[in-house]
Amino acid sequence: MNEEIFRKIGSKLTLSQKIERRMEAAIREKKLPVGSRLPTERELCESFGVSRTALREALRRLSARGLIEITKGSGMKVTGLKLDDAIDNLNLYYDMQFDHNLIAQIIEVRRLFEPEIASLAAKQRNQNDLSDIQDNIELFKACNPDNIQLEADIDNKFHLLIAKATHNPIVQISMEPIYSLLPRMRNLVYANVEGEREITIEYHLKIFDAINKQNRKDASELMKEHLIRTMDIYKKYLSDSI
């Protein structure tokens, strides 16, 4: 047992919080590597010098955060924070903060980053990425224009697939929570905008063609043009609704 990690807990702070923080720090520093088994509850209580109640509360919070896995009859092991867990937490944060200010901030972030994401996708994409993006465009074409929610979801997925085609998990972590709000934003803004469906499809096809040909410059420029047009529509909505 690692005595440095599982040493007695002081009494200045809540015991369960101190246990949680110490174990989280050990996981962050890889003193408790992903996949490693934790000592039993009894052993942990003795090592920390705490009650079972305080220990269980700390373990419950660590489990809820995705840092450990508790299996009845099999004990506990370190799982680490998964990519989906990080994205889900950001999704929740953005959902709770959703207002006109957040929409304006998202517009600015997309303008700054998405052209470069398209450029990187043109460099890194593989055949599976191309197939997924092409299928997405076909879904958009086939979608009933009256089904605004489905169309918004497909549009969102197009941008998410380009982010995934970079094969950089940091890009995905950063952008997926933003993309998760696009259907909600699109439903607010595009319901009464005529002709944008056809223009969107045209841009998606051009961006796909540039990514397919690994033309980084065109992929970036086309995404920038696409976003400038999109941002103008959003900004008009924001100014009209104030």
Per-residue pLDDT of the chain (242 residues), as tens digits, is 565 565 555 556 788 999 999 999 999 888 999 999 999 999 999 999 999 999 999 999 999 888 899 998 889 999 876 666 666 766 666 666 667 778 788 888 899 999 999 999 999 999 999 999 999 999 999 999 888 889 989 999 999 999 999 999 999 888 988 888 877 777 766 655 667 889 999 999 999 999 999 999 999 999 999 999 888 887 777 666 55
What is the full DSSP assignment across 161-229?
Answer: HHHHTTT-HHHHHHHHHHHTTHHHHHHHHSTT-TTHHHHHHHHHHHHHHHHHTT-HHHHHHHHHHHHHH
According to the model, what pLDDT value does residue 149 have? 86
According to the model, what pLDDT value does residue 214 have? 98
According to the model, what pLDDT value does residue 190 have? 64
Helices (H) and strands (E) in the chain, counts: 11, 2
**Domain ranges in the chain?**
15-78, 84-241
According to the model, what pLDDT value does residue 114 have? 97
The token duo for 90 is 């950001």
Cβ neighbours around 142 below 10 Å, total? 8
Which of 1.20.120.530, 3.50.50.60, 3.40.50.150, 3.30.300.20 is the CATH number of 84-241? 1.20.120.530
The token duo for 185 is 């934003």
According to the model, what pLDDT value does residue 8 have? 58
Which of 3.40.50.720, 3.30.1050.10, 3.40.1080.10, 1.10.10.10 is the CATH number of 15-78? 1.10.10.10
Q: What is the pTM of this model?
A: 0.65
Q: How far is it, in rounded angstroms, from Cα 203 to Cα 64?
A: 42
